[in-house]
Structure 1
Amino acid sequence: MIKRSLAPLALGGFGIGMTEFVMMGILPDVANGLHISIPQAGYLISAYACGVVVGAPTLVSMLGHKPPRSVLIWFMLMFLVFNGLSALAPNFTSLLLLRFLAGLPHGAFFGVGAVVATRLAEKGREAAALASMFSGLTIANVIGVPAGTWLGHHMSWRIVFLIVAAIGLATVVMLKKVVPYMAGTPGAGLREDLKIFRRASLWLALGITSIGTGGFFAWLSYIAPLLTDVTQFHADMIPLIMTVVGVGMTFGVNVGGKLADRVPPLRAILILLMSMVCLLCLNAVLAGSQVAMMTLAFLIGANALALGPPIQMLLIENSREAEMLGSSLGQSGFNIGNALGAFLGGIPLTLGYSYASPLWVAAGLALSGVVLATAMLAHGKRSVALA
């Protein structure tokens, strides 16, 4: 049961998750509607990701000194306007620009929302509060994305963006009515915020986020051809299996929240990345088994989103003087991981290897995350010893 004051954050997360991931499902419809190729339409996904990476640190640095509730409302207003305009885009160029602009408030909303969630949480329940916020993102993959894909196929892809804009409007209303007022941070500014980048621990945390989670995205990017060509599922089964992944995400984000409230975030991340390595290697070995694939789709989805709450906690811990900026970097890191995983996972395919080969790349990326987490743990112990 989501705490009432956290419900607007979950709803905003639902809208953000829907607009980010539904594009994969309606890509052919957008391409047909704008008379462009599928590869060209794929740039719309990249444009959104670029918006996330750019917007998260920039917007938070500009507005971090304002009251958090007001900042969240401004971000959601941007979100609803640019998604609403996307529904009216007359051509590819205008939609490309609007997708970039719609991505700007994505990471910033989660960054500020994560700080608000921890402040609203009961003592010792901070990670669980973060899980509540991220539950909206996971539920979007179970309900919003399949529904939006169906609408895009059978009605119009433009309706999907109008629905997303309506969710943004509902979030604005709920933020105003439900989230309590909190004072801003006096004196915060870009120059002061940027000082957190002097910390080796923050760079290690960002490396864990960008590289470690890249393993999940290397797996997810090529799951469709893996299912049809290697596991021998019929193409009609892909939406069902993606729903299984989404259900796993919903389960996992709550597990991650509980785990991060019981053990230090870095140790939770280390445990989850090690289990991710094992699951990805197991999937590579059992890629031809339909029963194994269904089971692993749930487990890998759960494991991936379980990383969300402890990663956010770790970033907040290592950016105390600019915690909103530090928290927002999580979404930038995830999107870098998305791009990195898709790029590196595709290399063995270009060399002629099977669609199971990206799984070994995925396992390697997750293992690199384990190495970075271990290095960060050692760095922390050394810092304490020298203090």
Structure 2
Amino acid sequence: MKKPLSALAAGTLVLGIAEFMIMGILPNVANGLGISNATAGHLISAYAIGVCFGAPMLVLARKFALKNILLALVGIMVLGNFCAAIAPNYHFMMLARFVSGLPHGAYFGVASIVALKLAPKGKTALAISIMISGMTIANLFGVPLGTTISTLLSWRAAFFLTSMCGLAALFLVFRLIPQVGGIEDTGFKGQFKFLKSIMPWLLIACTLLGNGSIFCWYSYINPLLTEVSGFPEKSISLLMFLAGVGMVCGNMLSGKLSDKFTPAKVATAVQGIIAISLMLIFFFAQYPILSATLMFICTFCLFALGSPEQLLLLQYSKGGEMLGAACVQIAFNLGNAIGAYAGGLPIEGGLPYNYTALVGFPAACLGFILFFTFTIRSKKFSFQ
């Protein structure tokens, strides 16, 4: 199981670098294209729009073998990032970012199904977390590396390296992923039938609220740590590494716990911890050690939600599994965008940066209530 799942993780690694790297090199991209930082910020939105457009297109690929779909999606990753590396102007770069986002949700949808098919009995949630682990490793190592390359060479070199990583992922998928066949073809309309039930909608809402609540605060983590917590600017890189460690640990531990206690219970508990942590950040962000500890807890929880949500949506999207699994990434990206906007409102009003956590607190509480409702409504089921 390890080698094929590692190949799947290579794909999520490329997606993670492509999605998050630009946040660290945005000024370089803006200078290179002759645009303002605010205009360059639209390149982040273009990727998110690509995610939302690309995932529903899976309904058109339902008749193809899963491995072949994965190869096509990784190929689009390579193309999008290569086009970003050679973009001659802002509009071409916008298109390249949109193309880069197209395979994101779709890849997670297909890779989740492949991971389930490859997982041994009793290890399904762990298999999903291994597949997702590439995203956490991207935040831990890939994004800082891309930022360093952008500084030492150019931002174009960073996107070119991402494209080369995509080629490596393409090779690994081709060599290590077996032909596991496709899924049952329920027809075009049958792919959407699962959305008639309230349970998938509860999960989608929980994903959006959970991630959105954290990104209200995390989108402004740098100025919060320096201006409120009092950390020197030179310590931010080390603190971001600590945040990345939290993501890696949260993802792997939640997979193991979900196999032991059920994904619904784990996700509900994690969402509750998020709500408590955000309120504590609001009150205690001025204390450096507490602020750093709470940052670790929140980033831990951010990715601890990933594998339970992915697995639950697969379970509750019979007949439309690829689309269901991809919906997690759509909700994730929408939550990021909405959270960043909402978290910025108190800052624009002149309030300190710890108020970003206060904005996220109600959303986190609502996410907990919905997850608790989901857990009560759902029947006990086995993923074996």
TM-score category (smaller protein): over 0.9
Matches within 5 A, 1:129-144: 129-144=127-142
CA separation in 2, counterparts of 1:186 and 1:136? 28
2:252 — aligned with what? Answer: 254
How far 1:239 moved relative to its partner? 2.0
Higher alpha-carbon deviation: 164-173 or 179-188: 179-188
How far 1:121 moved relative to its partner? 0.4
CA deviations over 1:136-165 (Å, ceiling 9, x no partner): 110111111001001111210001111111
CA deviations over 1:281-331 (Å, ceiling 9, x no partner): 122221011111222222211111111010001100110211111001110
How far 1:186 moved relative to its partner? 4.5
Paired residue total? 381
Matches within 5 A, 1:302-381: 302-380=300-378
CA contact (8 A) 1:211 1:340 kept: no
CA contact (8 A) 1:65 1:189 kept: no
1:87 — aligned with what? Answer: 85
CA separation in 2, counterparts of 1:55 and 1:268? 29
CA separation in 1, counterparts of 2:191 and 2:56? 10
CA contact (8 A) 1:56 1:104 kept: yes
CA contact (8 A) 2:309 2:328 kept: yes
CA separation in 2, counterparts of 1:334 and 1:268? 18
**Which amino acid is 2:160 matched to?**
L
CA deviations over 1:238-279 (Å, ceiling 9, x no partner): 222111111110011011101111122221111000011111
CA deviations over 1:176-225 (Å, ceiling 9, x no partner): 11111011134344321011111111111110011122111112111111
Matches within 5 A, 1:245-324: 245-324=243-322
CA separation in 2, counterparts of 1:187 and 1:358? 45
1:3 — aligned with what? Answer: 2
1:203 — aligned with what? Answer: 201
1:53 — aligned with what? Answer: 52
CA separation in 2, counterparts of 1:380 and 1:143? 38
1:115 — aligned with what? Answer: 113
Structure 1 residue matching 2:358: 3-state secondary structure: helix
How far 1:351 moved relative to its partner? 2.4
How far 1:379 moved relative to its partner? 3.4
Seq. identity, %: 39
CA separation in 2, counterparts of 1:247 and 1:375? 31
TM-score (norm 2): 0.96
Higher alpha-carbon deviation: 182-191 or 295-304: 182-191
Higher alpha-carbon deviation: 148-157 or 229-238: 229-238
CA contact (8 A) 2:74 2:103 kept: yes
TM-score (norm 1): 0.95
Question: Which runs of 5 or more residues in structure 1 are unaligned?
Answer: none
CA contact (8 A) 2:62 2:185 kept: no
**Which amino acid is 1:49 matched to?**
A
**Which amino acid is 1:214 matched to?**
G
Higher alpha-carbon deviation: 228-237 or 246-255: 228-237
1:238 — aligned with what? Answer: 236
Matches within 5 A, 1:204-219: 204-219=202-217
**Which amino acid is 1:363 matched to?**
F
Structure 2 residue matching 1:7: 3-state secondary structure: helix
CA separation in 2, counterparts of 1:265 and 1:294? 28
> Which of 222, 225, 228 matches 1:227?
225
CA separation in 1, counterparts of 2:53 and 2:266? 28
Question: Which runs of 5 or more residues in structure 2 are unaligned?
Answer: none
**Which amino acid is 1:66 matched to?**
F
Higher alpha-carbon deviation: 113-122 or 226-235: 226-235
CA separation in 1, counterparts of 2:144 and 2:216? 21
Structure 2 residue matching 1:213: 3-state secondary structure: helix
1:160 — aligned with what? Answer: 158
1:36 aligns to 2:35 (yes or no)? yes
Higher alpha-carbon deviation: 295-304 or 251-260: 295-304
CA separation in 1, counterparts of 2:89 and 2:271? 42
Structure 2 residue matching 1:84: 3-state secondary structure: helix
Structure 1 residue matching 2:86: 3-state secondary structure: coil
